[in-house]
Structure 1
Amino acid sequence: MNSSIVIALPKIEDAKKIRAILIRYGFSVASVCSTGAGALASMSELDGGVLICGYHLPDMYYRDILEYLPSYFQLLLLASARVIGEAPSSVLSVEMPMKASDLVNTVDMVLSQLERRWKKDKKRPKPRSWKEQNYISNAKFLLMERNHLNEEDAYRYIQKCSMDSGTNMVETAQMVLMLLYDEV
């Protein structure tokens, strides 16, 4: 995943100052804007990352942006202690006035977490199609009927054959079906 940083603050000068700080520490800032709509448009073109956002932008509040935030983006709220106290617990925040080190460390932490989550999600196997699931179900049914296995044992048999042969479960189920139907 190519993590990006989008900065949305009501005063564009403040956003540019934060961009300069982040660039100085080696971060890549994809976009700087002063509206929520601009931030959402920028994020829609990116894979994921951090939206550094103020409490109130000219066109919407941070809570409005939160509703439309893409899945691989994390909102980092820059606000006063009072606003942060009222924010949902899921929203990361840095209290204003802030130290550059607090901002840099928080952005680094968020980007690292997003990268780990993206890698974990990428490793997760994709769901089987109806057709693939049907092969496995039919092979299970045949094994249950012919070999008097219960459903769990039939599934384990297909799973074990799959691991032993180094093929995926769908291919193994297809082989079981071919072998059992050829016997008829």
Structure 2
Amino acid sequence: MTSVIIALPKAEVAQGIRNLLVRSGIPVAGVCTTGAQALALADGLNYGIVICGYKLADMIYSQLHEDLPFGFEMLLMASQNILGSGIVEEGIVSVIMPLKGNDLISTVDMMIQATERRKRRQRLKPKERNPEETALIRQAKELLMDRNHLSEEEAHRYIQKCSMDSGTNMVETAQMVLSMMQV
């Protein structure tokens, strides 16, 4: 689940936004009044969204955005003057203050869905192999091709099928093929 951190200079305003989000079913990981607190909280989480104001007690939003760990996005809440001046960095979602509760909830929900989609896509993407693993698989295929007179495609399919049947990855299966056939 995407973690939401609220970082605003006034604790009572931050608590109000937290309560609004929690009532709407959006879990909030924490409420902070400084950028350092938000960064410390974010370091303990995998990914999420930081909702913050333009200026915190110890830094402005751009410094916080720069220091956020990979996987975190920012929702900036600022006045029309600040957002209209063009000083807001690209890649930061922003909402104009004062805002309606429904606008905030829908924006946060949209950001959560986008983050979850991105994480799901990243999880489903096949892991890239390093050169040693690729060489090991190639070596096992070559051994199968030489000893069993298989084509490269057939050897690959054999390793792939054994991998799926045994519940191991292809690298482990290639290692097993090599150890069994070199006996």
> TM-score over 0.5 for the alignment?
yes
Give how far 1:142 is off.
5.2
RMSD (Å), alpha carbons: 2.9
2:82 corresponds to 1:78? no
Q: Residues 157 and 58 of structure 1: is their aligned pair in 2 closer, same or farther, counting only changes over 3 Å?
A: same
Give how far 1:25 is off.
1.3
What does 1:1-184 align with in structure 2 at a 5 Å threshold? 2-84=1-83, 85-128=86-129, 131-140=132-141, 154=152, 156-165=153-162, 166=164, 168-174=169-175, 177=178, 181=182
Give how far 1:163 is off.
3.8
Report the residue type matching 2:137 in the other structure: I
Q: Which runs of 5+ in 2 are unaligned?
A: none
Give how far 1:129 is off.
5.2
Aligned length: 177
- Work out the percentage of aligned pairs sharing the same amino acid: 45
Q: Which runs of 5+ in 1 are unaligned?
A: none
Q: Is the 8 A contact 1:159 1:169 kept in 2?
A: no
Q: Residues 16 and 179 of structure 1: is their aligned pair in 2 closer, same or farther, counting only changes over 3 Å?
A: closer
Question: Which stretch of structure 1 is more off in the superposition, 134-143 or 39-48?
Answer: 134-143
Give how far 1:164 is off.
4.0
1:121-163 Cα offsets, whole Å, 9 max, x none, are 22233343554333123235557888999xxx73x44432234
Report the residue type matching 2:17 in the other structure: I
Report the residue type matching 1:5 in the other structure: V
Question: Which stretch of structure 1 is more off in the superposition, 32-41 or 171-180?
Answer: 171-180
Question: Which stretch of structure 1 is more off in the superposition, 127-136 or 40-49?
Answer: 127-136
The 1-side partners of 2:32 and 2:179 are apart by 61
The 2-side partners of 1:163 and 1:136 are apart by 10
The 1-side partners of 2:18 and 2:173 are apart by 54
Q: Is the 8 A contact 1:7 1:53 kept in 2?
A: yes
TM (norm. structure 1) is: 0.78
Give how far 1:43 is off.
1.2
TM (norm. structure 2) is: 0.79
Question: Which stretch of structure 1 is more off in the superposition, 171-180 or 15-24?
Answer: 171-180
